[in-house]
Structure 1
Amino acid sequence: MDAERTMGLLSRLGDLISGSAAAVGNAVAGMRGLVAGLSSRDTRKQVAFTIAMVALSAKMAKADGVVSPPEIDAFCRIFTIPLGEERNVSRVYNLAKSDIAGFESYARDVRELFPDDPTMLEEIVDGLFHIAKADGAVHERELAFLARVAELFGFSAEEFARISARHIGGETDPYLILGADRTWDNATLKRHYRRLVVENHPDRLVGHGLPQEFIKIATDRLAAINAAWDDVARQRKIA
């Protein structure tokens, strides 16, 4: 029964926003009741995640004024379109990408879909970063868009700086990437690092049913954490 209802949700979402792109936020609010009606918690999370990625990805790509082919390709790799739902996904995406209007209310709705799951919200921000840099750089307006989405998701400025440090090139502070305090002793740092490895291991995403591209993003995130730890361990001579 859940599978049948899941397949119809994107069609209903397309009907809800067929009037204008700015109605995406209201559409998601209307979809919340449909999502809540699904009996499986995992199915609810997957459907909510699907809706989040379709609309926010489109608006993310539009943030710098141009939706480029690499950004669309990145979206298609991240988001696995259910068989038979191609037209509905395309319809929702094209409506959403026409402008960035309503993205703040939409981001608030997304946070409500994952009230006790900041890890999933960070996955969404990571996915948006992946799309933003698909054309070779994260542009200033895209970074501002991402910062505001992260704020609406409940992340502090320091937490957003930690997330963005993994995606934006240049010299970065390893303590920032680790979310660690320089005043911590070596034992505390090592415990913190080990917890990060467990929390960010790609295998954790397999059980969530996320697309393969998200496994790659998680692998890159873990690589950044490991590289930052290597820098800190070398500086402190931690064995």
Structure 2
Amino acid sequence: MWWGKALGAMIGLYRGGPFGMLLGMVVGHGIDQLLARMLRRSSGPATPQVHSQFFESTFQFMGHMAKAKGRVEEVDIAFARSVMTRIGLTPAQRERAVELFNQGKSPDFDRDEQLRQLTAWLAPHPSLLLLFLETLVQTAYANGRIDPAERVLLQRVCDALSVNRIQFEYIHRRVLAQRAWQTHQQSSAGPRRTQDMTLQEAYDVLGVKASDDDKTIKIAYRRLMSQHHPDKLMSQGLPDSMQKLAKEKVQGIQAAYSAIKVARKNAT
């Protein structure tokens, strides 16, 4: 793994001269290490226990995140319900999801033990861990902002998943851009067109900058598509009931890449 250091060095040199190049190489090295660790941990098809662990942990920590700021608000409950509706849970699955959400917001919820179990089951399936973290960030934004207590909880989760702060902020920016895209889709009368995504949203969804070249952007696009592709996530243990979460993310990634390609073509 070397492309992260090379990319970081180029961006740093462009933006901050020799010192910026060194800083960029340090950041890029961290990204290379994360990707290498993910590749080493990747394994074969997931077991039913992995399916169950992902489903249960997701809704438990959605409840725990909602409670982190002191009390669960109506917007937190509405967000959880919207997720259950979007992924098309059956009545029995919905009842179980509500039960898990309530477990997570209970004072007796053992967060550290649940994180230990989560990482033990999902460590060989890094794309699922990434989807889990992204879902928690979206949950924190149910009321439009991240509360300090929610940020502390996210940091604890990142520590358990071996995600450092720079990597988290990269994920954070992508989630915000994807959230804006989904909000526009849901508020419009029909499906949102690719050209309706702002160029800055598109760059943020892919986690790249406007100054990056076409090759760098294509690499970022392919990496995200690989991480979030529903078939890959299903093989890693994503429950059937939660496929739609992955499909929504893929749609946003594809729309972002298309928006960037259209903008660059028109600029030439």
- TM bucket, shorter chain: 0.5 to 0.7
Q: Kindly report the root-mean-square deviation, in angstroms, between the aligned alpha carbons of the 2 structures.
A: 3.9
Q: SS of the residue aligned with 2:69?
A: coil
Structure 1 residues 132 and 191: alpha-carbon distance in aligned structure 2, compared to 1, 3 A threshold: closer
Structure 1 residues 132 and 213: alpha-carbon distance in aligned structure 2, compared to 1, 3 A threshold: farther
For 1:100 and 1:180, how far apart are their aligned partners in 2?
A: 41
2:228 — aligned with what?
A: 200
156, 165, 172: which one aligns with 1:164? 172
1:57 — aligned with what?
A: 62
Higher percent of residues as helix: 2
Using the size of structure 2 for normalisation, the TM-score is 0.56
Alpha-carbon shift at residue 69 of structure 1 (Å): 2.0
Structure 1 residues 182 and 111: alpha-carbon distance in aligned structure 2, compared to 1, 3 A threshold: farther
2:257 — aligned with what?
A: 226
Determine if the alignment matches structure 1 residue 191 to structure 2 residue 222.
Answer: no
2:79 — aligned with what?
A: 74
For 1:165 and 1:96, how far apart are their aligned partners in 2?
A: 26
Kindly report which structure 2 residues correspond to 1:1-40, keeping only aligned pairs within 5 A, or say none.
none
29, 48, 52: which one aligns with 2:53? 48
For 1:90 and 1:139, how far apart are their aligned partners in 2?
A: 23
Structure 1 residues 219 and 176: alpha-carbon distance in aligned structure 2, compared to 1, 3 A threshold: closer
Kindly report which structure 2 residues correspond to 1:114-125, keeping only aligned pairs within 5 A, or say none.
114-125=122-133
127, 140, 143: which one aligns with 1:135? 143
237, 242, 246: which one aligns with 1:211? 242
Identity %, equivalent residues: 23
Alpha-carbon shift at residue 177 of structure 1 (Å): 5.3
For 2:140 and 2:92, how far apart are their aligned partners in 1?
A: 27
Please say if residues 60 and 142 of structure 1, whose CA atoms lie closer than 8 Å, have aligned partners that are also in contact. Answer: yes
Number of positions where the alignment pairs a residue of Structure 1 with one of Structure 2: 196
Tell me the amino acid that sits aligned with residue 187 of structure 1: K
Tell me the amino acid that sits aligned with residue 56 of structure 2: I
Structure 1 residues 154 and 174: alpha-carbon distance in aligned structure 2, compared to 1, 3 A threshold: farther
Please, which runs of 5 or more residues in structure 2 have no aligned partner? 1-44, 181-198
Please, which runs of 5 or more residues in structure 1 have no aligned partner? 1-39
